[in-house]
């Protein structure tokens, strides 16, 4: 069974195919984390909660029954502020007396099949009966009467579990939540490296690995989104661990706003891991009878290194996070006009691109920024989502019908969360822009952010967007978000609730996304934020793919896509061929094939040779779609290990199809190069399509594949495709 309660020992054992997580109801109702790691059948772990040596001036609570127990050193499932635990806390609630002493003790628990929803928040879900089980532990503060429900859902076959908390105010007084992390995990060791994904616009999710040290370390965002700067993902791996070996713990937050992921190592060499809403600029007033739900965190353990960890995330997200019609349905290959035309277009220019696309085998045309209001550059009209018929030389319906007559689907770009100072909407409703009294708002990209905490704003956006989407046969929506939030404040929130702004903002965004996707269930939504500035599981709950980066250069994309793959599957990664001049079309194709494939170019500016090559690329896309989107990924050579080359492989579940890509970024002196593949069946025979040569799986994995056929030069690449054959 996934969740077992050992009543005599008061121990919960949470089992997956690849991990065990153990909790004990310990001294006077404290919850202790005894173990998280590779599967263990027994739970003789009681001594794991004891710490013989305490910290400096360590306090013992008066109702403690064991001298060996102190909240300052014990491995706790809830680290509370103000009651003898001096480490960073996961929960801090300021009570009616004005102090923040918080003390949660076990009250009850229940175990049930399936997984509960988190109202207003994106979350993983049960795809089929029996695929997950949930433990709900109720704790309460005996002085304040506030409860905290801890939710653990075990996805047994995916070696993953989710953690979140529900804070309920059962008292007669309002309380102020100041810190509400989604989980607290005290590991009985600290011999780890910390891996995170940092970056900026056009350089997202760069891999960084550093040894953890005593004290505090971590990553965070205070930008109003998960951000380009840091992704809401961290991993801990053995110092000596790598792609295929070592204990690896992955943590990912299903949230699209300010977050914090932190690791604190104490003198006992115990590492406390916390992840959740960033407590900076956060507060939430909880009235009697109200509840507060934290975002959900995903925890993955693998003793097969980073590769095993990543493949667990990929399978889990493909099956239990991405939703809707396009979850497993083949997505259309598209061309977007942005890099080809910018905002300088009319209906005839767009039709010409669409006509070439149809003749080439592309399946959908996407009209990007510039179709609405008086939008000819980025200085105006965001919020005025009214079709500029003068620019299109006709109605949007006319353009859609012309392009659909070519056999294509039609997509459109929106940036619903923004408002231009030069717009009819801003002139009518200046208070709809996010602002604080007495200060002139700072502009980013000549635009403000609209106040998504307000129901009237969301109703306006839903109505005006539904008017366009509902009266035209539109198949795809690109949802963009092109600046960070500054001067955070809402005209409708009273002063004591302004600290709720950031969380209320993202809840409002989720609410609008949910309304639109339910109103238009056939719509394929792609998330975007200057590319990858909001590349997180929260967005994936509403859009099955996210534009990976505005940087479409193949050389740059190698690093971006490798970093993204640590926890995000290929199926969600928007990746296109563009007119970048640093590589040829073959290499552009080979990099862009790792994701939801498409094009960003103007056919008027490409050669006839390139046009013919694109037709071949399209055929390859259709042929290998399922293998790449839903196969197992193996990172063979990572760019953070080798600055000159990288390689990756997709293998289907049956281990009968193998797609290998090798990319030489910078040529070195010509030398022998052998690439060892992974994840094959050693007893199967595999035929290399290019030559017809037959290799055993054992040979390809142990001796390797000779790459003497690789082309020479910088920025060159090659695909090797194998299929299993009968003896």
d(CA 432, CA 482): 17
Residue 560 in contact with residue 692, Cβ under 8 Å? no
The β-bridge relationship of strands 175-187 and 91-94 is antiparallel
The β-bridge relationship of strands 3-6 and 284-286 is unpaired
Residue 94 exposure: Cα atoms within 13 Å on the Cβ side: 10
Pair of tokens at residue 462 = 């839903």
The catalytic position among 27, 103, 369, 550 is 550
d(CA 663, CA 658): 17
Neighbours of 520 (CB within 10 A): 17
Q: CA angle at residue 29 from 167 to 288, to 5 degrees?
A: 25
Residue 358 in contact with residue 618, Cβ under 8 Å? no
Note if 550 is an active site residue: yes
Q: What is the dihedral of CA 471, 477, 482, 483, to 10 degrees?
A: 80
d(CA 449, CA 443): 9
| Strands (DSSP E) found in 30-141 | 31-37, 91-94, 105-113, 133-140
d(CA 321, CA 149): 23
For residues 558-581, one letter each, b for 16 or more C-beta atoms within 10 angstroms of the residue's C-beta and e for the rest, the string is bbbbbbbbbbbbbbbbbbbbbbbe
Pair of tokens at residue 306 = 């980073």
For residues 25-57, one letter each, b for 16 or more C-beta atoms within 10 angstroms of the residue's C-beta and e for the rest, the string is bbbeebbbbbbbbeeeeebebeebbbbeebbee
d(CA 241, CA 47): 28
Residue 594 exposure: Cα atoms within 13 Å on the Cβ side: 33
Residue 244 exposure: Cα atoms within 13 Å on the Cβ side: 11
The β-bridge relationship of strands 259-265 and 105-113 is unpaired
The catalytic position among 193, 480, 536, 553 is 480
DSSP reduced 3-state for 334: strand
d(CA 120, CA 244): 38
Tell me the catalytic residues: 480, 550
């Amino acid at each position: 069974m996934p969740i077992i309660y050992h009543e005599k020992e008061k121990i919960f054992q949470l089992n997956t195919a690849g991990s065990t997580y153990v909790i004990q109801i310990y001294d006077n109702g404290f919850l202790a984390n005894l173990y998280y790691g590779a599967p263990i059948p027994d739970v003789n772990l009681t001594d794991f909660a004891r710490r013989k040596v305490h910290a400096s001036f360590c306090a013992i609570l008066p109702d403690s029954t064991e001298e060996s127990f102190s909240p300052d050193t014990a491995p706790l499932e809830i680290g509370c502020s103000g009651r003898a635990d001096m480490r960073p806390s996961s929960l801090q609630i300021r009570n009616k007396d004005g102090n923040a002493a918080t003390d949660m003790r076990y009250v009850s628990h229940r175990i049930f099949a399936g997984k509960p929803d988190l109202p207003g928040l994106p979350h993983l879900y049960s795809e089929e009966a029996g695929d997950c089980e949930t433990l709900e532990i109720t704790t309460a503060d005996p002085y304040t009467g506030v409860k905290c429900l801890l939710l653990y859902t075990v996805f047994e076959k995916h070696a993953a579990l989710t953690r979140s908390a529900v804070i309920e105010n059962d008292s007669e007084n309002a309380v102020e939540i100041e810190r509400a992390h989604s989980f607290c995990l005290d590991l009985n060791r600290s011999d780890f490296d910390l891996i995170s994904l940092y970056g900026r616009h056009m350089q997202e999710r760069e891999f960084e690995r550093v040894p953890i040290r005593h004290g505090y370390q971590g990553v965070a965002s205070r930008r109003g989104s998960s951000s380009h700067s840091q992704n809401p993902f961290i991993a801990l791996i053995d110092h000596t661990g790598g792609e295929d070996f070592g204990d690896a713990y992955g943590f990912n937050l299903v949230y699209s706003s300010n977050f914090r992921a932190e690791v604190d190592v104490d003198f006992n060499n115990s590492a406390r891991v916390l992840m959740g809403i960033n407590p900076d600029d956060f507060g939430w007033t909880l009235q009697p009878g109200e509840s507060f739900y934290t975002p959900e965190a995903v925890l993955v353990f693998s003793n097969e290194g980073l590769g095993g960890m990543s493949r667990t995330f990929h399978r889990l997200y493909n099956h239990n996070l991405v939703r809707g019609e396009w979850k497993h349905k083949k997505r259309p290959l598209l061309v977007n006009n942005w890099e080809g035309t910018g905002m300088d277009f009319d209906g005839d220019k767009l039709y010409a691109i669409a006509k070439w696309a149809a003749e080439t085998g592309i399946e959908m045309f996407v009209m990007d920024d510039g179709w609405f209001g008086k939008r000819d550059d980025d200085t105006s009209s965001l919020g005025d989502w009214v079709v500029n018929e003068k620019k299109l030389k006709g109605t949007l319906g006319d353009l859609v019908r012309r392009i659909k007559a070519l056999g294509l689907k039609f997509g459109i770009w929106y940036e619903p969360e923004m408002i231009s100072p030069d717009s009819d909407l801003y002139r009518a409703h200046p208070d709809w822009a996010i602002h604080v009294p007495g200060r002139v708002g700072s502009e980013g990209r000549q635009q403000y952010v609209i106040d998504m905490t307000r129901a009237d704003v969301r109703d306006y956006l839903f109505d005006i967007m539904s008017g366009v989407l509902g009266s035209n046969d539109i198949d795809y929506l690109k949802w963009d978000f092109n600046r960070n939030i500054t001067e955070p404040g809402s005209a409708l929130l009273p002063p004591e609730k302004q600290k709720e702004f950031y969380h209320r903002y993202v809840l409002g965004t989720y609410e609008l996304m949910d309304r639109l996707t339910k109103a238009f269930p056939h719509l394929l939504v792609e998330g975007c934020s200057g590319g990858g500035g909001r590349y997180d599981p929260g967005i994936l709950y509403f859009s099955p793919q996210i534009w990976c980066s505005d940087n479409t250069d193949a050389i740059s994309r190698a690093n971006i896509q490798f970093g993204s793959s640590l926890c995000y599957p290929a199926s969600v990664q928007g990746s296109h061929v563009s007119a970048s001049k640093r590589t040829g079309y073959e290499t552009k194709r080979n990099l862009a094939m790792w994701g939801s494939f498409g094009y960003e170019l103007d056919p008027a500016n490409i050669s006839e040779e390139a046009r013919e090559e694109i037709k071949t690329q399209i055929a390859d896309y259709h042929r290998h779609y399922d293998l790449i989107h839903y196969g197992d990924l193996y990172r063979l050579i990572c760019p953070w290990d080798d600055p000159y080359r990288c390689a990756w492989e997709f293998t289907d579940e049956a281990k009968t199809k193998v797609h290998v890509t090798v990319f030489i970024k910078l040529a070195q002196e010509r030398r022998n190069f052998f690439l060892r593949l992974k994840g094959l069946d050693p007893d199967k025979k595999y035929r290399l399509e290019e030559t017809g040569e037959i290799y055993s799986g054992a040979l390809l994995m142990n001796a390797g594949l000779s790459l003497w056929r690789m082309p020479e030069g910088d920025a060159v690449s090659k695909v090797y495709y194998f299929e299993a054959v009968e003896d």
